[in-house]
Amino acid sequence: MTQELNPLKRKIKVFIVDDHALMRRGLADLVNSEEDLSVCGEAEDAPNALSGVSKTSPDLLIADMSLRGSSGIELIKNVKVLYPDLPILVLSMHDENIYAQRVLRAGAKAYVMKQEAADRVLQAIRKILKGEIYVSERVGTQMLQQIVRGRSPTESSPIDRLSDRELEVVQLIGRGRTTREIAKNLNVSIKTIESHRAHLKEKLDLKNATELVQFCVQWVEQENVAKH
Amino acid sequence: MTQELNPLKRKIKVFIVDDHALMRRGLADLVNSEEDLSVCGEAEDAPNALSGVSKTSPDLLIADMSLRGSSGIELIKNVKVLYPDLPILVLSMHDENIYAQRVLRAGAKAYVMKQEAADRVLQAIRKILKGEIYVSERVGTQMLQQIVRGRSPTESSPIDRLSDRELEVVQLIGRGRTTREIAKNLNVSIKTIESHRAHLKEKLDLKNATELVQFCVQWVEQENVAKH
DNA sequence: GTCTCGCATCGGGGAAACCCCTTGCCGATG
DNA sequence: CATCGGCAAGGGGTTTCCCCGATGCGAGAC
């Protein structure tokens, strides 16, 4: 609408990467509705994003996490190598703390969930244009809690803090064994396994038994993949 | 084709349901950019959708599958009961034809993936306004292949034997939710969820709760990977 | 050496979840 | 119209979860 009203003051150029056309449209609308922002280009996957960025040299990149093919995190890393000063805002489906941490470590400056309101995205844009970092409240407080508990986020995965016995229990839970079965298997009391599970929940910051099983299943899976 | 024949006539009213604000914006922009269409209302969840529809009495409903709380498929069924003639277009993250089949059986008239281009959505809108049914090409051919193979949709993978509600519970378990949380989320008694879980264990031939969680986690994972 | 700390092992007790059985309702199917 | 499947929900017994400890044991700290 008001895109070319002010030719004296160049607008801040924003490049959008998302594999959902409709989401791109919504984002573009949002960005262009701001006086001083304008969309300079769009892409639906990582390769097109890289070539598009090199053509349009934007001031800001908005990227979706879950792209087809090469994942969003790979794109961030690649962009960071080629354009270290280009701030990146990452949109994600997940509110998982793990994703946020990985994304920020990969070099993004903001992590916003797609569920959030549109003005949150604008807040994030403003913040990272000032050189600051933005994460949505829920993820942010989770991260702070981790730091308060003395766990530096840069330190490798929390799985390293587990004892050998605890890791053993993780394996068995991940294979679908019950507490009783594990106890019998390891020739100890059920109480002992319950105790291990309690420690696991604490160390891995999991709320309840279901989340514990979820984590263990995923970890066993991921470990089996890593071997091949 | 026929959209600019009667410029004096009232525009066709479209109601949008999606829990992503940006997606709503993109959809609204798309719809309003058409001469004869206009967005008459939006909602971010099922309850607001139902009251919004009753207030604005739209000619077409566009709904996201994966809403918070009561899921998209429930919304479709509810809408179908109250407004049997209101055509519904369903947007989905998944390209699995399991979902497409369920959605169409629940009464929707079109199934479109969010990845698809914007004009596909318009194609779908035009088609269902003419009383026809639209599914995206990939899903459509998958369905046809199943029919050609003589495989009734009820007998391939054990997951197909699950009811809509049961599949919904699988999703939530796979995301680490407890029985209580699921009950609250779906606004039913804990006993009901326990009952669903019992049926799931029976249908999927799982011994206990841990195996059930294991299965659900793996299924949700595998499903998210299948997109790429 | 003693002290602390993490680890592994158990127990009590109350709350929650699990598990099996049954019931009622509705809509579709035959 | 009768039966069957899906959904919701309750009763009641069993098991697990979860928050409290407690003990012994080895390893490093001072």
Condensed to tens digits (0 to 9), the pLDDT of residues A177-189 reads: 999 999 998 889 9
The phi, psi pair for B145, rounded to 5°, reads -55, -40
- The minimum CA-CA distance between B1 and chain A, rounded to whole Å, is 23
DSSP letter (8 states) at residue B91 = E
B194 in Cβ contact with B182 (< 8 Å): no
Question: CA A8, A12, A16 angle in degrees (round to 5)?
Answer: 140
Residue A139's pLDDT is 73
Condensed to tens digits (0 to 9), the pLDDT of residues A36-76 reads: 999 999 998 888 888 999 999 999 999 987 655 456 777 88
What single letter denotes the amino acid at residue A134?
Answer: Y
Residue A137: Cβ within 10 Å count: 9
The strands making up B37-43's β-sheet, listed across from edge to edge, are: B37-43, B12-17, B60-64, B88-92, B110-113, B134-135
Collect all residues with Cβ–Cβ distance below 8 Å to A68 and sequence separation of at least 6: A19, A45, B115, B227, B228
Q: Which residue has the higher pLDDT, B157 or B76?
A: B76
Residue B12's pLDDT is 93
Give the residues across from B12 on adjacent strands: B37
Alpha-carbon distance B43 to B52, whole Å? 7
Residue A2's pLDDT is 47
- The minimum CA-CA distance between B152 and chain A, rounded to whole Å, is 31
Which residues of chain A does B228 touch, with a Cβ-Cβ cutoff of 8 Å? 68-69
* H/E run at residue A111: strand A110-113
3-state secondary structure of B43: strand
Whether the CB of A197 is less than 7 Å away from nucleic strand D comes out as yes
- Confidence band (pLDDT; 50, 70, 90) for B153? very low
- Confidence band (pLDDT; 50, 70, 90) for A93? confident
CA–C1' distance B106–C28 (Å)?
14
A118/B21 touch (CB, cutoff 8 Å), yes or no = yes
B217 in Cβ contact with A217 (< 8 Å): yes
Residue B154's pLDDT is 40
* Full set of structural domains in chain A with CATH: 12-147 (3.40.50.2300), 158-227 (1.10.10.10)
Mean pLDDT over residues B65-69, rounded?
64
